[in-house]
């Protein structure tokens, strides 16, 4: 009999390019393909080691002289909303949540374009057309959901989150919202609602992507209590944001071979 052994994922490194978060720095990513029958297990395992998903790719920053980007997640059991966060919940009680399969719609794309044009007109996604948007939403080899937020009376779409369901939590892959309603604090509200969804489902964490000390656009993540960051190969509770430095150093990042050797891969052998 011929036995087919599972193929270990291959890891690659992107070419350096300007960092979108910190001026004057260059970013580089370590990445691997997310595919096959064990995609869910691989996504779970690498997400717990600081990786993020983009369509059928898992990636993690691996910059040559900078280790500022830290994967962040909220410990649901430890989370307590602040006064301003409770206010955000109150200001959005007229919204209804709709969780659907990952299918793109024209209404989503219109909201996405308005959000990008207002908030990230110079970003790397600024030129994304409707077909690329559909691919971002729909090309997922794992269990994903589109969580929409709409006004109950009018049905107007005000916020969208592409969310992965992991074995230990929810991962907010990408979120966007109406840019012309700043008083609603929609970005904060959608995170708060995902904390509630995770609590209802008995999931311990909500993964928020990367927190970057020194980056103003990422500063909001440190305002959530119960926050943990993946630092030094382990998850650590965020006690003082100032304790994490964004300074560059030639030894701040391990060699690629050492990084890959230290990645823990899931056991994909079939059970008997």
- Structure tokens belonging to residue 148: 């929409």
pLDDT of amino acid 122: 66
Check: pTM over 0.85? Answer yes or no: yes
Q: Which residues of the chain fall below pLDDT 50? A: 1-5
* pLDDT for res 3: 40
**Contact status, residue 192 vs residue 177, Cβ threshold 8 Å:** no
Residue 58 makes CB contacts below 8 A (sequence gap 6+) with: 31, 32, 33, 34, 42, 43, 46, 47, 51, 52
Instruction: Catalogue all structural domains in the chain, each as residue range(s) with its CATH number.
Output: 11-70+247-261 (no CATH), 72-243 (3.40.630.30)
Q: DSSP secondary structure string, 23-78?
A: TT-EE-EEEEE--STTHHHHHHHHHTTT-EEETTEEEEE--SS----EEEEEEGGG
As a whole number of Å, the end-to-end CA separation of the chain is 17
pLDDT in tens, 206-248: 999 999 988 888 888 999 999 999 988 899 998 888 877 766 6
Give the pLDDT confidence score for residue 269 in this predicted structure.
62
Look at residue 213 in the predicted model and tell me its pLDDT.
87
How confident is the model at residue 95, as a pLDDT?
97
pLDDT for the residue 2: 44
């Amino acid at each position: 009999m011929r036995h087919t052994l599972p193929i270990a994922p291959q890891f690659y490194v992107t070419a350096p390019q300007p960092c979108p978060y910190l001026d004057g720095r260059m970013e580089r990513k370590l990445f691997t393909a997310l595919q096959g029958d064990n995609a869910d297990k691989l996504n779970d395992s690498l997400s717990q080691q600081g990786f993020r998903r983009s369509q059928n790719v898992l990636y993690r920053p691996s910059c040559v002289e900078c280790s500022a980007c830290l994967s962040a997640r909220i410990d649901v059991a430890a989370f307590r909303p602040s006064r301003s966060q409770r206010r955000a919940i109150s200001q959005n009680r007229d919204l209804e949540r709709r969780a659907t399969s990952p299918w793109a719609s024209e209404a989503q794309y219109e909201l996405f374009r308005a959000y990008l044009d207002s908030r990230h007109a110079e970003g790397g996604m600024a030129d994304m057309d409707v077909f690329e948007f559909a691919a971002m939403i729909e090309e997922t080899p794992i269990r994903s959901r589109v969580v929409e937020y709409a006004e109950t009376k009018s049905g107007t779409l005000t916020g969208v989150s592409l969310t992965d369901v992991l074995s230990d939590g929810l991962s907010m892959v990408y979120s966007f919202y109406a840019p012309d309603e700043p008083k609603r604090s929609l970005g904060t509200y959608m995170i708060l609602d995902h904390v509630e969804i995770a609590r209802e489902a008995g999931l311990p964490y909500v993964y928020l992507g990367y927190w970057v000390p020194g980056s103003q656009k990422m500063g909001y993540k440190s305002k959530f209590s119960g926050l943990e960051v993946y630092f030094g190969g382990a998850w650590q509770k965020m006690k003082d944001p100032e304790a994490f430095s964004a300074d560059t150093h030639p030894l701040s990042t391990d060699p690629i071979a050492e990084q890959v050797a230290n990645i823990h891969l899931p056991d994909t052998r079939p059970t008997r």
